[in-house]
Amino acid sequence: MLLFRWAILFLLLGAGVSFAFYVGTRDRRYLRWGWAVLKWTLLAAFGFFTVLILERLA
Per-position DSSP letters for 23-43, written without gaps between them: HHH--HHHHHHHHHHHHHHHH
- The domain tally of the chain equals 1
Q: What pLDDT score does 15 carry?
A: 97
Residue span of the structural domain in which 8 resides: 2-57
From CA 17, how far away is CA 8, in angstroms rounded? 14
pLDDT band at 58 (very low <50, low <70, confident <90, very high): confident
pLDDT over 90 at 1, yes or no: no
Considering only the C-alpha atoms of the chain, give the largest distance between any 2 of them, rounded to a whole number of Å: 50
Q: What pLDDT score does 18 carry?
A: 97
pLDDT tens per residue across span 2-46? 898 899 999 999 999 999 999 999 999 999 999 999 999 999 999
